[in-house]
A = this chain, B = another copy of it.
Amino acid sequence: MPSQPTLSNKEWPLMRLLWEKSPQPAYDLITALSDQESWHANTIRTMLARLHKKGAVGIRPYKNLFLYYPLISEEECIAAESESFLQRVYGGALKPALLHFARSQKLTREEIRELKKVLDGKD
């Protein structure tokens, strides 16, 4: 089995759209993304072609166009990228990473409680 293709920076928003809803024609993705990210239509098509080439999305013909759908799961991608991030930035140490995120100011009280519940389950 060929290892998971990895996603580049800008491929993530595209894949997120496909994970949310698929299959989708290029047109819909272009509409959504030219808006969200202000990319040129051809840029998005190029990225779709590359994603297809690297095995991240599949193509199915439909009428006179193609529908795109993900071939790799969001969970796997997130897991892989998280692991890579952990290695790169923290040399693989999970605890400091978690502490960093936990200390950041952006958690609401509610989220903190939720997180603690998960941790309780593991303790």
Q: Name A's B-contacting residues (CB within 8 A).
A: 9, 12-13, 16, 77-79, 81-82, 85, 88-91, 94-95, 97-104, 106-107, 109, 111-116, 118-120, 122-123
Q: Enumerate the 9 nearest inter-chain pairs by beta-carbon distance, A residue then B residue, closest first.
A: A95-B111, A85-B85, A81-B89, A12-B88, A102-B118, A98-B101, A94-B106, A112-B123, A112-B119
Write out the residue numbers on chain B whose beta carbons fall within 8 Å of the beta carbon of A103. Answer: 118, 122
Which has the most chain B C-beta neighbours within 10 Å: A16, A95, A97? A95
Whether A115 and B91, one on each chain, are in contact in the complex, defined by CB atoms closer than 8 angstroms, is no
Whether A107 and B95, one on each chain, are in contact in the complex, defined by CB atoms closer than 8 angstroms, is yes
Partner of A122, one of B79, B89, B100, B107: B107
Partner of A94, one of B88, B90, B101, B123: B101
Q: What's the Cα separation between A100 and B118 when bound, in Å?
A: 10
Other A-B pairs, 16, CB within 8 Å; known A77-B89, A81-B85, A94-B106? A9-B88, A12-B88, A13-B91, A81-B89, A82-B100, A85-B89, A95-B115, A97-B101, A98-B101, A98-B115, A102-B119, A103-B122, A113-B123, A116-B116, A116-B119, A116-B120
